[in-house]
Amino acid sequence: MPGFGAWTWVFYIFLYLPLVILVVFSFNAGRSATVWSGFSLDWYARAFGNESIQRATVNSLIVAFSAMTAATVLALLAALALMRGRRFRGGTVFRVTLLAPLMIPEIVTAVATLTFFSALGMQLGLFNVFIAHTVFCIPFAYLPIAARLSNLDESLECAARDLYAGAWRAFRRVTLPLAMPGIAAGAMLAFIISLDDFVITLMVADAGSTTLPVYIFGMVRMGTSPEINAVSTALLAVTTVIIVFHYYLSNSAKNRP
């Protein structure tokens, strides 16, 4: 179609120009987040030296790693039941519940979870955040694992069973290694979804368990600064690295069934 190629350029420029601006001004020497006055890494030094940012980063990492682990384990078990087990009553309801956090607006899940914790009087700091994150990380971990399992030839597993491998051995030596790219992909997605979450954490986290995105929001509320640009760029860089890695992992897994 004529013009679509040119439009695609505009599309990509629109998608990336704001990000480029953010990154460029994180290296600004001056105090302004949008008026260029020379290159410097000062704001990165300041951001990394800022104790509140350090604490928020540690919180983010603790939550992201633990939510990733819990979500991936739960999602793997669920995927095995849905993709490999016998059909069971309530299977569809189970699957829909598993995927529901994807489609329900985050703010709704956020206030529901907040209300739940408050009704129970559950004030366990980061543990509350971990629970809330695990819920919405499950579908992101589940989808790549389920996709991988549904692409796998079951005859390999049948052959293993045929050759007198017990159910556990067949799982441990055949299914699990074959499902590994899906599991890794799911874990990566769960990790960045947790690391980047803002809305749910804002509502659920108490003052002591602020994560990095919540801290950034607080800073933005007070005004822009190259320091915010620096932290945001760092967060963006982590996501980008994981996604690029994930992309190549899932593509190579597709080519080598």
Partner 1 sequence: MKRLFNFNLPPLLSVGPAALFLTVFFIAPFAIIAVYSLMEADPFGGVRRAFSADAYIQFLFTRDWDGNLQFDLSYLNIFWRSFALAAGATVLCLAAAFPAAYYIATQPRRRRGLLLLLITVPFWANLLVRTYCWVLILRDSGLVNGWLIAFDLISTPLPLMYTDGAILVGLTYTYLPFMALPIYASLEKTDWRLIEASRDLYAGHRQTLARVVFPLARPGVIAGCIMVFIPSLGAFIAPSLLGGGRNLMIGSLIQLQFSSSRNWPFGAASALILLAFVLLLLYLWRRRSGRDGRDDGESIW
121-150 residues in contact with partner 1 (CB under 8 A) are 131-132, 134-135, 138, 143-144, 147
Q: Is the CB of 40 or the CB of 252 nearer to partner 1?
A: 252
In the list 50, 55, 69, 196, the residue contacting partner 1 (rule: CB under 8 A) is 196
Binding mask 200-229 for partner 1 (x = CB under 8 A): --xx---------x--xx--x---x---xx
* Rounded Cα distance, 82 and 89, in Å: 11
Instruction: Find the shortest distance in angstroms from Cβ 132 to partner 1.
Output: 8
198 binds partner 1 (CB under 8 A): yes
Q: Which part of the chain contacts partner 1 (CB under 8 A), choosing from 42-50, 54-62, 170-178?
A: 170-178
Instruction: Find the shortest distance in angstroms from Cβ 208 to partner 1.
Output: 17
Q: Is the CB of 32 or the CB of 54 nearer to partner 1?
A: 32
Instruction: Find the shortest distance in angstroms from Cβ 135 to partner 1.
Output: 5
Query: Any bridge partners for residue 39, and if so which?
Result: 28
178 binds partner 1 (CB under 8 A): no
- Tell which positions 34-63 bind partner 1, by CB under 8 A: 34-35
Q: Is the CB of 11 or the CB of 39 nearer to partner 1?
A: 11
Give, for 202, the enclosing helix (H) or strand (E).
Answer: helix 199-204
Q: How far is CA 75 from CA 12, 138, 174, 232, in A?
A: 34, 6, 19, 30
Number of Cβ atoms within 10 Å of the Cβ of 17: 10
29 binds partner 1 (CB under 8 A): no
Rg (CA), the chain: 22
163 binds partner 1 (CB under 8 A): no
Q: Which part of the chain contacts partner 1 (CB under 8 A), choosing from 37-45, 46-54, 58-66, 154-162?
A: 154-162
Q: Pick from 148, 147, 167: which is nearest to 157 by CA?
A: 167
- Provide, for the chain, the percentages of residues in helix, strand and coil under a 3-state DSSP scheme, each rounded to the nearest 5: 80, 0, 20
In the list 157, 190, 209, 210, the residue contacting partner 1 (rule: CB under 8 A) is 157
Size of the site for partner 1 (CB under 8 A): 93
5 binds partner 1 (CB under 8 A): yes
Answer yes or no: are the C-beta atoms of 175 and 84 closer than 8 Å: yes
Q: Pick from 147, 146, 141: which is nearest to 184 by CA?
A: 141
Q: Pick from 133, 25, 34, 143: which is nearest to 82 by CA?
A: 143
15 binds partner 1 (CB under 8 A): yes
192 binds partner 1 (CB under 8 A): yes
* Rounded Cα distance, 77 and 179, in Å: 12
DSSP states of 73-96 as a string? HHHHHHHHHHHTS---TTHHHHHH
Binding mask 65-104 for partner 1 (x = CB under 8 A): --------xxx-xx-xx--xxx-x-----x--xx-xx-xx
